[in-house]
Amino acid sequence: MEKDKIYGIHCDVENCVHNQNGSECTAGRIQVCSTCSDPNCCDETVCKTFKACDSCH
């Protein structure tokens, strides 16, 4: 059975187990949070779903 996938999520973090084809996130759900205390800041976010993959690119 294929795991659930959210379509349309693009990510360029190639050393993540959820990365497919260098740009597609295959996680069934993602959690993203801001690392900036300014509520208008959109440049500093972290994907908490990230899991390192030692054998990835």
Output the pTM of the full model: 0.71
Domain count within the chain: 1
pLDDT, tens digit (0-9, with 9 covering 90-100), for 1-16: 346 777 888 888 989 9
- Domain hosting 39: range is 1-57
Could you tell me the two tokens for 54?
A: 């030692």
Give residue-wise pLDDT tens across range 48-57: 999 999 887 6
pLDDT digits (tens, 9 = 90+) for 11-31: 889 899 999 888 899 998 999
Contact 53, 17 (CB under 8 A): yes
Give how far the C-alpha of residue 48 lies from the chain's centroid of Cα atoms, to the nearest Å.
8
Listed residue (16, 47, 14, 13) closest to 29, CA to CA: 47
